[in-house]
Copies of this chain bind each other. A is one copy, B any other.
């Protein structure tokens, strides 16, 4: 955890010359740790100041001495989750492979605490902190691809947006069905079904071949599209350079 300071293992080390009177003293880190454990185990709705205090064996009001309120508590939680992780930064392979690897790492980071994903994605500041963890190798890869600064920024945002949307789908629908599969189509009456002939045909075809939804495959398929698309933009940029060379010569 260790949100603010680093190099302090836990609450077990007593302060020099001043042994805690009742054993462990309350601290921001101890609070965040207990809160995260509670959220992971029972969901974000189970997190209340009073319940958290009970878990810590402390008066509810004591918590307010270390965090200013519940909103700040959740913000601290989200920040801690994104700050604690130092994901490995890919630095070898083609730029395509580095983009893919960064997206995989980022997905794992966002998914690390499923019950916190919603609060996490709703917190713009936290998302910035999370993105900066993995953004440098993405930008380096996009730079290697030959994109302009503006297009590189847009491409990096698009990859991040895809990961956010994908993880949201994963945690909202952990069973892993197709968003719109045979069940939903069959629920619609004949009138409805007649209005979506292509979907009906495609999903019937998927059902025939016994295709099961697979989040890993779906994520990789999304990366296929994104990387292919970025390749296209890079080709445009090269063509643009060539045009300008032609004009100059």
Contacts and interface: CB of A to CB of B under 8 A. Distances in A.
Interface of A: 118, 121-124, 127-129, 131-132, 135-136, 139-140, 143, 149-155, 157-158, 160-166, 168-169, 172-173, 178-180, 184, 188, 195-199, 201-203, 205-206, 209, 211, 217-218, 221-222, 224-233
Contact of A139 (B135, B139, B199, B222): B199
Main secondary structure of the interface of A (DSSP, over half): helix
A166 B161 contact: yes
A150 B179 CA distance: 13
Contact of A165 (B129, B153, B165, B199): B165
A172 B127 contact: yes
A74 B125 CA distance: 27
Contacts of A161: 162, 165-166, 168-169, 222
A166 B166 CA distance: 11
A233 B196 CA distance: 23
A222 B150 contact: no
Contacts of A180: 128, 131-132, 135
A224 to B, nearest CB: 7
Contacts of A127: 169, 172-173, 179
B160 A162 contact: no
B222 A228 contact: no
Contacts of A166: 161, 165
A152 to B, nearest CB: 6
A168 B221 contact: no
